[in-house]
Amino acid sequence: MAHSQIDQFLQEATCPDHESGRTLDNDTLYGLYTSWCQLSQQQPQDEHIFFEAMSQSLRPGQCLRMMGPAAADYILCSYRAVV
């Protein structure tokens, strides 16, 4: 069970990516987080607080990929000009 907003975000909107060896860049990760916050009706933390919490929650070099409704929301909002 998730104990903090960041833990809940990681559990619901990301999954480990063991195959590609790539992870989400900071802009994408924060964008995914803000999409997740909007869908979860939670107030997003400022970027510096978010990234400090992420540095404590993730292992160095850990690769993540997006998943779930927040991923779909982020992708659709990010590429609105294409649609």
pLDDT digits 0-9 by tens, 43-59: 999 999 999 999 999 88
**Mean pLDDT in residue range 36-40:** 97
Q: Number of structural domains, the chain?
A: 1
Q: Does residue 35 form part of some domain?
A: yes
Rounded to 5 degrees, what angle do the CA atoms 52, 58, 63 make? 120
Confidence class for position 83, pLDDT limits 50, 70, 90 = low
Q: Does residue 68 form part of some domain?
A: yes
Rounded to 5 degrees, what angle do the CA atoms 30, 78, 5 make? 30
Q: Does residue 62 form part of some domain?
A: yes
The whole domain housing 51 covers 19-78
Please indicate whether residue 19 or residue 16 has the higher confidence score (pLDDT).
16
Confidence class for position 6, pLDDT limits 50, 70, 90 = very high
**Mean pLDDT in residue range 17-41:** 92
The pLDDT score that the predictor gives to residue 1 is 40
Q: Where are the alpha helices (DSSP H) in the chain?
A: 5-13, 26-40, 47-57, 68-78
Q: Does residue 49 form part of some domain?
A: yes
Q: Does residue 3 form part of some domain?
A: no
